[in-house]
C-alpha cells in the first residue's frame, strides 16, 4: 500500500469513527430525554444507533465516556462562535468559549448531568482535561495568539496557561454537577477575569515587550 493509500485508509477509518460516535451519542441523547443516565444501558444505545457494542467501547471506553462527544460538540459550537466574531481580543474570545460552555450546560438535562457526574467520578487524576481535548486545543490556540500580541505575558508555558483558564471556565459546571447551588455564568465570568488579571503584563513588562519586539521593515 502506498503512503497516499495509507492516508486515505486512515482518513476513512477516522470518518467512520466520527460517524459512529455521532450515531451512538444521538441515540443516547434521545434515550436520556425519557430516562436517567443510570437506567440507560449500553446495549439499548447500540440497538437504537444500530452500532455494535464492541464499537461503542472502542470509541467511548465506558458509558460515561459519551461525555467526550458532548464536549466535542461544545467545542465545535465555541469554534463557530469565534469564527463568526472575526478579529477580536483575547478577553472577548475566551468569553465566547465561556458562553458556549454555559449555554451547553444550561440546556443539558438531568441525564447529561448524571453522565458528567459518572465521568467525573472516574476522571484520571493526571489529566483534568481528558473529557474535552478539543476545547483545550481551541483555548491553547487563543492563548498562543494572545502571547504573540502581548495581550498576556509569555513567561507561563502555553499548555499551563490554557489548562488554568479552561479549569476556571469549567470548574463552576463541575461545582454545580456536584450539587452546589451556583450561578455558573456569573462565577465563570469572575474566574475568567481573575485569570486574565494575573496574566496581563504589568506596565514594566509591557514596556519591555515593546522594546524587545522586532521592528517591522
- Mean pLDDT of the chain, nearest integer: 88
Q: Where in the chain is the domain with CATH 1.10.357.10?
A: 65-212
Q: Are 97 and 134 in contact (CB under 8 A)?
A: no
Query: 204: pLDDT confidence band, cut at 50, 70 and 90?
Result: low
Radius of gyration of the chain (CA): 20
- Give the tens place of pLDDT for each residue, 55-96: 999 999 999 999 999 999 999 999 999 999 999 999 999 999
- For position 144, what pLDDT does the model report? 97
Considering the four listed CATH numbers 1.10.10.60, 3.60.15.10, 3.40.50.720, 3.40.50.2000, the one that applies to the domain covering 3-60 is 1.10.10.60
- Would the pLDDT of 109 be above 50? yes
Percentage of the chain beyond pLDDT 70 is 87
Length of the chain: 217
User: Nearest CA to 22 among 11, 55, 44?
Assistant: 55
Residue 13 cell numbers, joined: 477509518
- Say what the pLDDT of residue 41 is: 96
CATH superfamily, domain 65-212, is Tetracycline Repressor, domain 2 (1.10.357.10)
- Please name the residues in contact with 127: beta carbons below 8 A apart, sequence gap of 6 or more: none
Which of the pair, 12 or 177, is modelled with greater confidence? 177
The pLDDT assigned to 125 comes to: 67
Name the percent of the chain in helix, strand, coil, to the closest 5.
Answer: 75, 0, 25
What pTM does this model have?
0.85
Q: How confident is the model at residue 23 (pLDDT cuts 50, 70, 90)?
A: very high
Q: Which ranges in the chain are annotated with CATH 1.10.10.60?
A: 3-60
Q: What angle do CA 52, 107, 121 make, to 5 degrees?
A: 60
Q: Are 148 and 76 in contact (CB under 8 A)?
A: no
Amino acid at each position: 500500500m502506498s503512503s497516499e493509500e495509507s492516508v486515505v485508509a486512515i482518513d476513512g477509518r477516522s470518518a467512520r469513527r466520527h460517524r459512529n460516535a455521532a450515531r451512538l451519542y444521538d441515540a443516547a441523547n434521545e434515550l436520556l430525554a425519557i430516562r436517567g443516565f443510570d437506567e440507560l444501558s449500553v446495549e439499548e444505545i447500540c440497538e437504537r444507533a444500530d452500532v455494535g457494542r464492541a464499537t461503542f467501547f472502542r470509541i467511548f471506553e465506558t458509558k460515561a465516556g459519551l461525555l467526550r462527544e458532548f464536549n466535542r460538540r461544545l467545542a465545535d459550537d465555541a469554534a463557530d462562535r469565534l469564527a463568526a466574531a472575526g478579529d477580536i481580543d483575547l478577553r472577548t474570545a475566551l468569553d465566547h468559549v465561556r458562553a458556549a460552555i454555559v449555554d451547553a450546560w444550561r440546556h443539558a438535562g438531568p441525564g447529561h448531568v448524571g453522565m458528567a457526574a459518572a465521568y467525573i467520578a472516574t476522571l484520571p487524576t493526571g489529566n483534568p482535561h481528558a473529557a474535552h481535548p478539543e476545547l483545550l486545543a481551541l483555548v491553547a490556540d487563543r492563548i498562543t495568539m494572545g502571547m504573540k500580541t502581548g495581550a498576556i505575558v509569555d513567561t507561563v508555558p502555553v499548555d499551563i496557561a490554557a489548562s488554568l483558564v479552561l479549569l476556571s471556565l469549567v470548574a463552576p459546571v463541575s461545582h454545580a454537577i456536584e450539587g452546589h447551588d451556583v450561578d455558573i455564568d456569573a462565577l465563570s465570568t469572575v474566574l475568567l477575569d481573575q485569570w486574565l488579571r494575573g496574566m496581563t503584563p504589568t506596565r514594566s513588562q509591557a514596556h519591555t515587550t515593546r522594546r524587545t519586539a522586532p521592528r517591522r521593515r
